[in-house]
Structure 1
Amino acid sequence: MARYFKYKSPADLIDDAAERGVPIELADDLAPLFEPLDVPVPGGAPRRLGNRLAVQPMEGCDGTPDGRPDELTYRRYRRFGAGEAKLIWGEATAVADDGRMNPRQLWLADHSASEIADMLAGCREEHRAACGDDGDLLVGLQLTHSGRYSFRGPLIPVRDPLLDPRTVDRATGKPIGDDFAILSDDDLRRIQDQFVAAAKLAREVGCDFIDVKQCHKYLLCELLAASNRPGEYGGSYENRTRFVRELIGRIRAEIPDLLIASRFNAYDGVPFHKGADGLGEPDEHAAPLTNSFGTDPHDHAKPATEEPRRLAADLAAWGVSLLNVSSGNPYACPHLVRPAELPPTDGYLQPEHPLVGIHRHFTLTAAVQESAVTPDGVRVPVVGSGYSWLQDYAFAAAAANVAAGRCDLVGYGRGSLSHPDFARTLKKSGKLNRKQVCRTFSYCTNIMRTKDHPLGQYPTGCPPFDREVYDPIYKEVKAKLSDAASRK
């Protein structure tokens, strides 16, 4: 199996990227990452962040069956808080039970609110213990409805010719057919009500902001690409963005002191499958594409930034204070979401060098950051993604991007599971702790994808570098995966 990360020095990486036609800049000085940043507040004074480092929304799949945080959830947020990153972008938290992606996903509702409040309070408490105060910290939750990927059964907003054959109807155990009902406009309005109710609870439990999640082909992301959906929420760009526009307007009107953020796909791409040689290959598809936001309809490999740029400007105009850029679909084209050294057990080998995917992330983020400006000229900060595979050089690339204005904030995802104190370590030593640096071997994903558990879902984390907690879990998972493979 090919290994990609072979660099012994920053120059090795820079030269390799240049030879591949995907130039990546590395900075010698990490100081730009520790400059404060003002986050705009519509109609109010800005909120200050103490540095430019963010923990991305990393789901632990470790809640209780009714959506409350459990022991490992509390532990994870305490570790994030103590790590000294100043933006804690909390994980995907469902707005309804039928919108949960897995049976241990957090669900923000009346019955779970007090425990989620405790989880966030523990995060802040550890941050105060580490930093002295939390006045320059922002903590929020990513509110989501999983739509097509809801574990209780798919709730689809649009017929997607590429995703429908991959979507299983729980009633039949087979892919959904042409007669499978799509959510009506009234259904979407009901779900919008659920988002508003969850946003109100989010403010009550201590969130500074909520993320209206529009990425990775969950419900709101599918709506952005629903060009073939009839009715008020499909077809034209104005209709495809109607749901999020209405939702943001309602939250601003009903919860004016709650900041609104949004992580959205700037590029959907198309689904991939494992080819005969193990490499990922794009599914057969007709052109022009009908359900792929930010993608050239005649060439799936090419991003088309006109609509993502327009969306960034619109979100800024509608009152969103933070944006976060992603790509792809973790179930159908994971290499677009998270370039990796090794694929998950249910995945495929990288169809492109990881540097190509990282460069795409950086380029898309820069385009969104350039466009994320309010009508009166206020710049809305954008969180960039795609850093973990760069290992020791991740934050040299991050500092270069921030210094050049390609993004205002840098998000660390998988790497934050193995190295939750990355911000503190960088500040003290100017580099990461090599013994905690994520190698992107997909251990965390392999655990997450294993469902043979009494609660329907294993909790996930980093077995190599959070060994005491997750190595026993991984060994159990590995044995089950090996047994399943031997029975095939």
Structure 2
Amino acid sequence: MSRYFKYKTADALLADATAMGLDIRLSDDLSPLAQSLSIGGRTVGNRLAIHPMEGCDGELDGSPGDLTLRRYRRFGDGGAKLIWGEAAAVVPEGRANTRQLVCDAARADGLARLLDQCRRSHRDAWGDDSDLLVGLQLTHSGRYSVPRPLLAQHDPWLDPRTILDRQTGRSADADTPLLSDDDLDRLQHRYVEAAEVAARVGFDFIDLKQCHRYLLCELLSSHTRPGKYGGSFENRTRFIREVVARIRDRLPALMIATRMNVYDGIPWRTGADQLGEPEDVSYPLPSSWGTDPEDHTRPDLDEPIRLIGLLRDLGVAMVNVTMGNPYGSPHIIRPFEYPPPDGYETPEHPLIGVDRHFRLTEQIQSAYPDLPILGSGYSWLQAFIFQAGAANIRDGRVSVVGVGRASLSHPDFARFVLEGRPLDRKRICRTFSYCTALMRSKHNDLGQFATGCPPFDKEVYDPIWKEAQQTSPSSR
């Protein structure tokens, strides 16, 4: 299988993008990345952010573990002025893995320790953290919860992939009960309580996670769900609007943000030659958000743009734009060079996926030019990440550049950019998908291996990688 990233120069990358009709822009002037900006009344020192990257390395009770704290010390030291803290479940049964963080009163001390070490590391390295913004992402994993999936709606293509009983392999079907309206009403209380914990701990903002087909994202696409949380746009957006209003009423000083899918698409599967191919779907699509109901390849941002406007009016101060489903369409959420072991080969040149992220983010930013928008989809560009980010900020396509996978191997990327140095080539993420492979590895006593970058953070994660490979059921 041929690989795609063969670029030694920016001109070579741009030539390929032009030949494919893509709107990728690069700039050698990186000064836009060093500009400050105002978010929610706070001055943020630069336009560089770390995305909510889970390490799957918490304790079994949902508290941060040693590797969790290490990541946040490294993030704090690195120089990015916006650290978008990872997903923490608002209820233990809403975790996506057994080592995901939980945000509630019982885990507050651990979260306070994480935040303190992150900020202290930043102060030690940079002298001042008054222009550093650190948040926490609040989540419920819905159909991807462990040990039991909790469905908001039925999806004819995701239900067969949603395992209800791991011993028998039984999957969800049309008779699988959904979370009731009363269940969702009670869950609103848990979101408010989690926000109170995050505010008391001292996080600058909370993110209400609405992406990647976890629960709040799936509610947005619940066209066939009965009751007050399904069907119409008003009903499908009811949960997020009411939660935002309740948090604003209870905690008026707490900044609220959201990481939101603007395009779901549909699930893909492994086809001939291991290439990804779309599921055979019927139209109109019964369950997809930000997607043309008659053509899954075409984003339709009418509803996402409408919802973002409503959330802005309710007080949401920042939106992190993303798309896709890591379990069903990984090439859409994060263009990659090499797939994880359980994934398919990319069905498109990764530059097409990068361009999709940039174009849709630009549409959101253009609709709300005064709302800070954080962009995704940069990691595949490797050494050219920041030339692309600077060009996008310069041209008003985005407000802040977010770095996800690449922050695991090179958490101090911002230091290099701000000091005018090229990135450390020995630590630039090559999108090998080792981190995703570790995230999918669950065959130990904790039910989950910690994830990081085995090739470029070798001392810590190479032993974990070797253990996961040597003990994998497929290796026996």
TM-score by length of 2: 0.98
User: Which whole-Å CA distance do the structure 2 matches of 1:287 and 1:2 have between them?
Assistant: 34
Q: Which residue does 2:459 correspond to in 1?
A: 468
What CA distance in whole angstroms lies between the structure 2 residues aligned with 1:333 and 1:464?
A: 25
User: What corresponds to 1:80 in structure 2?
Assistant: 75
Matched residues, percent identical? 57
Aligned-residue CA RMSD (Å): 1.0
What secondary structure sits across from 2:160 in the alignment? helix
Partner of 2:43: 48
* Partners of 1:81 and 1:485 in 2: CA distance: 38
Q: Does residue 181 of structure 2 align to residue 185 of structure 1?
A: yes
Partner of 2:85: 90
| 1:28 and 2:23 matched | no
Shift of residue 161, structure 1, vs aligned partner:
1.1
CA positional deviation for 1:15: 0.6
- The runs of at least 4 consecutive aligned structure 1 residues that moved more than 4 Å come to none
Helix, strand or coil at the partner of 2:146: coil
The aligned residue for residue 474 of structure 2 is 485
Amino acid at match of 2:363: A
Which residue type is aligned with residue 297 of structure 2?
A
1:339 corresponds to: 335
Distance 1:349 1:2 in 2: 10
Which residue is equivalent to 2:149? 154
Q: Given the alignment of the two structures, is residue 330 of structure 1 paired with residue 321 of structure 2, yes or no?
A: no
The 2-side partners of 1:112 and 1:283 are apart by 41
Q: Distance in 1 between matches of 2:304 and 2:162?
A: 26
The residue number in structure 2 matching 1:376 is none
Alpha-carbon deviation of 1:433?
A: 1.5
Q: Is the 8 A contact 1:342 1:442 kept in 2?
A: yes
The Cα of 1:317 is off from its aligned counterpart by 1.1
- Name 1:218's counterpart in structure 2: 214
CA contact (8 A) 1:316 1:372 kept: no
Q: In the alignment, what sits opposite 1:103?
A: 98
Structure 1 unaligned segments of length 5 or more: list them.
41-45, 374-378
Cα distance in 2 between the residues matched to 1:223 and 1:370 = 26
Residue 112 of structure 1 deviates from its aligned partner by 1.0
* Secondary structure at the counterpart of residue 110 of structure 2: helix
**For 1:366-405, what aligned pairs fall within 5 Å after superposition?**
366-372=362-368, 379-405=370-396
Match of 1:255 in 2: 251
- Aligned residue type for 2:29: D
Task: Give, in whole Å, the separation in 1 of the partners of 2:330 and 2:125.
Answer: 35
The answer to whether the aligner puts 1:57 opposite 2:57 as a matched pair is: no
State the aligned residue count: 475
TM-score normalised by structure 1 residue count: 0.96
Task: Compute the displacement of 1:486 (Å).
Answer: 5.0
- Larger mean CA deviation between 105-114 and 57-66 belongs to 105-114
Work out the CA distance in 2 between the residues paired with 1:185 and 1:297. Answer: 26
Contact 2:469–2:475 (Cα < 8 Å) also in 1 = no
Q: Retained in 2: the 8 A contact 1:287–1:298?
A: yes
Deviations 1:204-223 (A, max 9, x none): 11110000000000000001
* Contact 2:382/2:429, CA 8 A, preserved across alignment: yes
SS at match of 1:308: helix
Matched residue, 1:355: 351
